[in-house]
Structure formats: structure tokens, C-alpha cells
Amino acid sequence: MIKQTELAELGEFKLISRLTKNFSATHKNTVYAIGDDCAVLAKTKQAHTLITTDLLMEGIHFDLMFTPLKHLGYKAVVVNLSDIYAMNGTPEHITVSIAVSAKFTVEALEELYEGIALACKAYSVDLIGGDTSASLTGLAISITAVGTVNPKSITYRNTAKKNDLICVSGDVGAAYAGLQIMQREKTVFQQSKGAQPKLEGYEYSIQRYLKPEARADVIQNLADASIIPTAMIDVSDGVSSELLHICSQSNVGCRIYEERIPIHKNTQKIAQEFEMEAIIPALNGGEDYELLFTIPIEQHEHIKTIPDVHIIGSITEQEQGLYMISRSGSPIAIQAQGWTAFE
Amino acid sequence: MIKQTELAELGEFKLISRLTKNFSATHKNTVYAIGDDCAVLAKTKQAHTLITTDLLMEGIHFDLMFTPLKHLGYKAVVVNLSDIYAMNGTPEHITVSIAVSAKFTVEALEELYEGIALACKAYSVDLIGGDTSASLTGLAISITAVGTVNPKSITYRNTAKKNDLICVSGDVGAAYAGLQIMQREKTVFQQSKGAQPKLEGYEYSIQRYLKPEARADVIQNLADASIIPTAMIDVSDGVSSELLHICSQSNVGCRIYEERIPIHKNTQKIAQEFEMEAIIPALNGGEDYELLFTIPIEQHEHIKTIPDVHIIGSITEQEQGLYMISRSGSPIAIQAQGWTAFE
């Protein structure tokens, strides 16, 4: 009998490497293919083209019970642009494909496209194409973003160096906290028909979940200060998962410090309500779309002048492993959370 | 009350134009955005970049009851490459995103990727990225293809001229005929459990449906003969629908001749079995992935030297409308079949 392996046995990253192991690049303009935030194609001496794509499925990536279509359209664009910024690039174009079931009206789709248009305007991106089709159940959105980057300042994941400082922008864990509130209020609403959701006091985290922004401002500020990160990734699956990508691909280890992880007070409040340590969503929550990057330790004084960027630790030799030093001083191994969508 | 419009009222093309009416291009390297087989971006003086994308949904675009995953992977790539050829370009890169429900095993997805790899090899295309995610229901595949084209030989849809000859490659209607056979045998199988499908004698049409090829050879032969079509499109929705695109976007009319439409004898045999005129699937069947193009009448002698290309009519003034002249000599208006997936 032929062996049958369930998807949950592998997880996303092992699955991708197994499915793509027989592919190899044949075009000399293929600079970098699978394995980073974007693929990289040679364009001119001064510019590479960046390409990234995402496929969002209703019920997996979004819940229309509490996600307004306009927000969904905005977010679907932003999460792709975030991947372009994570290569230190500038997004310029997107394609948008949707598949919709008959339950959607034209007016509903117009709301979705209003959000897409808002994101295009906010980030100076042109919508250049796409596909529109039917779906048997629910909504699927596939976006491809195309950007440009100077080959001299492109930032991969696999180039972090020993002693580099590890930095993260903004704060982390808020999107996950916001999602917990939305899911709690959905359950209350479903159990007692007509109960109005209580969202007051959670606005910051809910906004971070429903309408995230890509950190174009951080990329601009780094460029203005002539700081080119040695490695960079955007925080879509959580700080732990992204650190694991950078460290395993760069063959290095890391030490980060719990007290230095930036957590918003609204995230802390929600974590407390859910009787959870705030560091858990901060490390493993995902969907923050902040930038996690490394810089040479010599840039220490320069990075402190960049607003909203926090040094959370440093890169070590690979043999030293990946650890977070807790507030009490204990080293805690940073675990692969993996991808549990198939479980 | 806010007006709610059902999707079926509009159809695909009116829906796209309504959803995208508020978007405008801001980047000067955006040469052509929505409305052709590909978007066109300026790269260098000698080359434009072409981008096209498709989103395929289980139950809408494919039926896994009779579509082997390896064929599906191959076809999903080919239909995108066909759009690059339809701009007179050369495909170079693809991204592949999939969303899968837990019913799929790793081995099943490996079959899908074997088909993708075969197509990449056959057409010299590099897989450079994608996304892998879960789905609540079935399989979704989104592919983006990137290609290159010389700006001097790019072929749009909106540049057909009066008196141009209309040409189509290969034969049309076979894929639709093949699909009818597969659906008939599926019904027989479901009604009498265990009945083996009868596919002998239908191989040509079934192959055209399950494993179509993009006409890279035709593009090469045209280039070798220094023929640059005045307009071109690939036949994904049927000859009628594609002719309507070319004529409406070029502000011209057309006359095509029933007797000149290339129909394979296997398509004719199947049409007869289903008591249908073979011209119906030939004009409206879709999924042929042949090339429909126009050339200046001066190229009449040259085009006859290109193998597997058929002159089916000519472009007229817009006022003369779009007509097929039947075998008996009667003009029959070419109708928009529109897009019925939402109905």
C-alpha cells in the first residue's frame, strides 16, 4: 500500500520544502526563489524586482462575522506589502484575484474593493490585474505584490551575523489579543441572540487585528539613517517563529530578553483578562506585521535615534541555541510553534 | 434600504469594470493595467514585464472525480503561460499558492506538484514562490506567471484594424467536448456503482480538456516568419467571447466563416453523440488555450506557411457588427455568452 501522510504530520514549512525539492531555477535572472519573504528577480543593475503572494481563505484567515469587508480588503493588501518592506523594498503593483459564492452581492464586493483602493492609495501601489471567479463556498482572496529594491540594500533572512543586535518595530501580540476579544464577543452573541458586543477599551488591539499597517515608515527611517539591516523578516506568524527562520537560515543562535519585548498596555490588559502571560501572544501571536531585523552592533547609537524601534537581544553562535532570558533571569528555549492550521 | 445587486445580474466583465472603476495607475512604469491577458510593466528599453494571475477553485474550475492531480497541476500552470504567449511574450517565472483541506494527503499534493514541475520543465519556467495554507472546503490554486516581451512586438487586444485577417491556431471545441464525456461517465459511475468509465475513442478531446498545452510553438513560428499580430488573445472562454473582446476593445466588427472554423473529427463525433452542432462547442466551449489573433491582410501569403494556423475571417468596420456566415450563407450574430458561473 502506498504511504499516505497527513498534512498535520508535516506542518507548513516541511510541507513546502518537500513539495518544492525537485524544482530548480534555470533563468539567470532568478536571483532568489523560495524561502524568503519575496522572490527576487534581476531587473537592471540598479534594481531587482520583488514578488510575493498570499492566498486568504474565508474561515481560515478571516471570519466575516466580525471582519468588515472594507477592512478585509485593506488588510489583504497590507500583508503582502509588508513582505516587500521586509526585503527593504518598495511595493509598486498588486494583482487581486477573488473567488466568491453567490451569497455575496455586488455591493459587498464593492466594499471589499474600497478597502483595497484605500490601501493602494495609502501605500502608493497600482492595481494592475487579477481574476474574478465563482466559489462553491465562501470567499477566497489571492494577492500578488510586485516591488523594487536596490540590490545593494536588499535584506534576506539568511544573513544575520554573530553579535548583531536584534530589533523589532512597534509592539507585538496586540493583533492576537484583538482577535481573542472578537472571538469572545462572537461566542457571546451566538449564545444569547441580540447581545451587543462589548468592544470599548479594546480598540487598540482590535484595530491592530482588523486594520494592520505595513511599516513603510520604519524602512524609510532606516534608509534616512543609512542603516541597512543584516537580515529582516516581517512578523506574520509571531516573533518566535520569525526568529527561528532568521537563525536557522543564517546558521546562528540568539538571546532575547523578556523585559525588552515591546507589549502595548492594551495587550497586557487583554492577556490579564484571559489569564495568560502577555509574553505568550507577544512571542507566538502573529499577524502583527511589524519588522524584525538585525543590525551590526556598531550601529547601536544610530538605531536608538529611530522612533518606534526596540532592541530586544542579540545574535549568538549557532551552538548557543535560541533563548529568551526571562525577567527572573532564566533562559527559556524559543520553540517552533509550527503551523497548526491543518490540525 | 441599500440596493443589493446579485452577482449573476452583472456577469464577470461588468463586475470587474464596476469593482475597478475607482483605481488609476500612479507609477510611470505601469504600461498597461486591467483589461488584457496580462498587465504590462516597463522594465528596460528592450523588455517589458508581463504579469498574469488565475485563481482556480475546486468544484468550479475542476472536478477531482475525474481530474488527476498531476494533470491539474500541469493545466493550472499552462493556462497562465497561455496568457503570457497571448501578449506575444515569453514566460519565465511562476508563483504557486494552494489552500487545501485536511482530506488531502502529502502524497496527493506531491502529485499536484509533479504536474506543476512537468509544466515548468516543458515551458522553461522557474517556480519562485507561493503560499501554502489550509482551506475549510476543497482545493484552491492561485498561480501568477511573470514573463518578458519586446515592447516592439507586444500584442494587445485593442489594436485590431479593419481588413485584418482573423486567425486561430489548432482546433477549437475539443476541450468542451472532452469535458462532456467526463461528466457523462461520472454520472453513469455514480448511478451504477462500479461501472467503469468508457473513454475509448474520446482520447483526443479528453486530453485537450485534462492536459491542454499553451501555443509556444505558434508564437515561435510567427516570430521566425517576422509576423507580429495586430491583436491577440488566448481562447479560454470560447472563440465568440474572445472575438467580442478583440472587436469591442478595438472598436471594430468582424466576419468569420463557419466552414473555416477548425474542428477536430473527435469533437464532431462527440457533438453528434450529444445531438449538438459541433460549431456550438467550437464557438462557445472554452478552455481550448489556442491563440486567436489578427494580422494585416498583406501577410496573407506568409501566414499560410505557418503550420496549424487557420484564417477564419476578417475584421470589418464597427458598424457592420460581429457575424458568423453559416455554411448556407446566412449571417448569424456572434453573441456574448457572458459568464454564467454565478447563476
Residue B278 has pLDDT above 70, yes or no: yes
3-state secondary structure B94-158: EEEEEEECCCCEHHHHHHHHHHHHHHHHHCCCEEEEEEEEECCCCCEEEEEEEEEECCCCCCCCC
Distance from chain centroid for Cα A218: 15
Least CB–CB distance from B93: residue in A41, A102, A341 = A41
For residue range A17-45, list pLDDT tens digits in order: 899 998 999 999 999 999 899 999 999 99
Least CB–CB distance from B124: residue in A18, A26, A54 = A26
Least CB–CB distance from A19: residue in B110, B129, B137 = B110
Q: Which residues of A touch B43 (CB under 8 A)?
A: 43-44, 49
- Region B4-30: mean pLDDT is 88
Record: contact B128-A99, CB cut-off 8 A: no
Record: contact B53-A142, CB cut-off 8 A: yes
Comparing C-alpha atoms, which of A337, A334, A204 is closest to residue A261? A334
Task: Render the burial of A78-92: b for 16+ CB within 10 Å, e for the rest.
Answer: bbbbbbbbbbbbbbb
* Cα–Cα distances in angstroms (integers) from residue B243 to residues B36, B310, B315, in the given order: 13, 15, 10
pLDDT number for residue B14? 86
Q: Options 3.30.1330.10, 3.40.50.10210, 1.10.760.10, 3.40.630.40; which CATH number does A27-149 get? A: 3.30.1330.10
Nine cell digits for residue B305: 506557411
How far is it, in rounded angstroms, from Cα B108 to Cα B68?
A: 10
Q: Which residues of A touch B105 (CB under 8 A)?
A: 4-7
Using alpha carbons only, how large is chain B's radius of gyration in Å? 20
For chain A, the structural domain boundaries read: 27-149, 165-333
* Cα–Cα distances in angstroms (integers) from residue A184 to residues A59, A173, A199, B267, B307, in the given order: 16, 17, 10, 57, 65
Record: contact A58-B136, CB cut-off 8 A: yes
Nine cell digits for residue A57: 481563505
Q: Options 3.30.70.330, 3.30.1330.10, 3.40.80.10, 3.40.50.300; which CATH number does B28-149 get? A: 3.30.1330.10
Comparing C-alpha atoms, which of B62, B75, B56, B118 is closest to residue B212? B75
Least CB–CB distance from A140: residue in B128, B134, B140 = B140
DSSP labels, B53-98:
EEEEEBTTTB-TTT--HHHHHHHHHHHHHHHHHTTT-EEEEEEEEE
Residue B342 has pLDDT above 50, yes or no: no
For residue range B177-215, list pLDDT tens digits in order: 999 999 999 988 888 877 788 889 999 999 999 999 999
pLDDT level of residue B2 (50, 70, 90 thresholds): low
User: Can you point out the beta strands (E) in chain A?
Assistant: 30-32, 39-42, 48-57, 90-100, 126-134, 140-149, 165-169, 231-234, 252-257, 291-295, 309-317, 322-325, 331-333
Nearest CA in chain B to A38: B129
Record: contact B130-A34, CB cut-off 8 A: yes
Report whether B264 contacts B171 (CB < 8 A): yes
Report whether B116 contacts B129 (CB < 8 A): no
How far is it, in rounded angstroms, from Cα A210 to Cα B160?
A: 46
Average pLDDT, chain B: 93
Record: contact B133-A16, CB cut-off 8 A: no
How far is it, in rounded angstroms, from Cα B322 to Cα B316?
A: 8
Q: What is the pLDDT along chain A (343 residues), one digit of tens a residue?
A: 567 888 888 888 888 889 999 899 999 999 999 989 999 999 999 999 999 999 999 999 999 999 999 999 999 999 999 999 999 999 999 999 999 998 899 999 999 999 999 999 999 999 999 999 999 989 999 999 999 999 999 999 999 999 999 999 999 999 999 999 999 999 888 888 777 888 899 999 999 999 999 999 999 999 999 999 999 999 999 999 999 999 999 999 999 999 999 999 999 999 999 999 999 999 999 999 999 999 999 999 999 999 999 999 999 999 999 999 999 999 999 986 644 444 4
DSSP labels, B164-220:
PEEEEES-SSHHHHHHHHHHHHHHHHHHSTTPPP--TT-HHHHHHHHS----HHHHH
Would you identify the CATH topology of the domain B165-333?
A: Phosphoribosyl-aminoimidazole Synthetase; Chain A, domain 2 (3.90.650)
